[in-house]
Structure 1
Amino acid sequence: MKAVEKRAQAKAEYNAFLAVCPSRQLLDRISNKWVVLILCALGGDNSARQGEVANADGPKAMRYSELARLLAGVSQKMLTQTLRSLERDGLLTRTVTPTVPVTVTYELTDLGLSLHHLTRGLRSWAQTHMDEVLANREDHDARTR
């Protein structure tokens, strides 16, 4: 099969195992830690700690400054780039309200909410199993020294 045919097949079937498939780019984008945390925050999971049930309030709109405060360690540039890419992909909406100063809020779309349900599970798994992972790392490092 020629390269052109492979690209056409990958596009028609969206098979992420094929190097030329556009869904592979999407997987790369949505597997980013900032994307996962933004989706969780906008999905209403921002108050859940290890062992606690996620905030039952559900999805909510948040201002840029709220997201920046919540996402410890994210740079202004990274947060802006990530929000723009999520808006471009149709996962969130950006609403500008003409106030003084201007109010900008971000909110999940239905598509973003469907992805949020998956990322919430990833975040929960990571928080629940972090002690085990750290112990395994220590064991591995002790064996390989």
Structure 2
Amino acid sequence: MEKKNLFGLCPYVTSQKVLTGKWSMYIMYLLTDGPIRFNELQRKMPEEMTHTTLSRQLKKLEEEGLIERIEYQQIPPKVEYKLSDIGEKFRKVLKELEIWGNEYIQYLNDKE
């Protein structure tokens, strides 16, 4: 039996593939407040996030078209990241994930 490549056909598989990075949703959440510089973004990430990992994740999100990298021609160089137009549409998903996440946290607390 031949396996199908569902990327670009199935919305769930497509979404999952685009958001494969461990921190991709959290990075997108942080960008909902507007453009942010790399170092500021790194300060807001959990301690275990390395410079290399953040850089790699940002490049992946940029390749997927979810964020934009804005370079300012100045010295010292200034780079900011922001949600792209399609990334902005992810805000609704983030809001629903926040609601569900809080409900699940409450569920976990109730189990204790």
Q: Which runs of 5 or more structure 1 residues have no equivalent in the other structure?
A: 17-22, 45-59, 139-145
Offset of 1:117 from its aligned partner? 2.1
Is this contact kept in 1: 2:68–2:81, CA < 8 A?
A: yes
Offset of 1:126 from its aligned partner? 1.9
**What is residue 39 of structure 2 aligned with on the other side?**
65
Q: Which runs of 5 or more structure 2 residues have no equivalent in the other structure?
A: none
Q: Deviations over 1:37-76 (max 9, x none)?
A: 11111112xxxxxxxxxxxxxxx11000111011122211
TM-score by length of 1: 0.63
* Inter-partner Cα distance in structure 1 for 2:22 and 2:103: 17
**What is residue 98 of structure 2 aligned with on the other side?**
123
* Inter-partner Cα distance in structure 2 for 1:32 and 1:121: 19
Is this contact kept in 2: 1:40–1:120, CA < 8 A?
A: no
Structure with larger Rg: 1
Is this contact kept in 1: 2:18–2:64, CA < 8 A?
A: no
Is this contact kept in 2: 1:42–1:61, CA < 8 A?
A: yes
Query: Identity, % of aligned pairs?
Result: 23
TM-score by length of 2: 0.79
Task: Say what the alpha-carbon RMSD is for the aligned residues.
Answer: 2.6
Deviates more, 1:101-110 or 1:28-37: 28-37
Structure with greater contact order relative to length (CA < 8 Å, sep ≥ 6): 2
* Inter-partner Cα distance in structure 1 for 2:78 and 2:37: 7
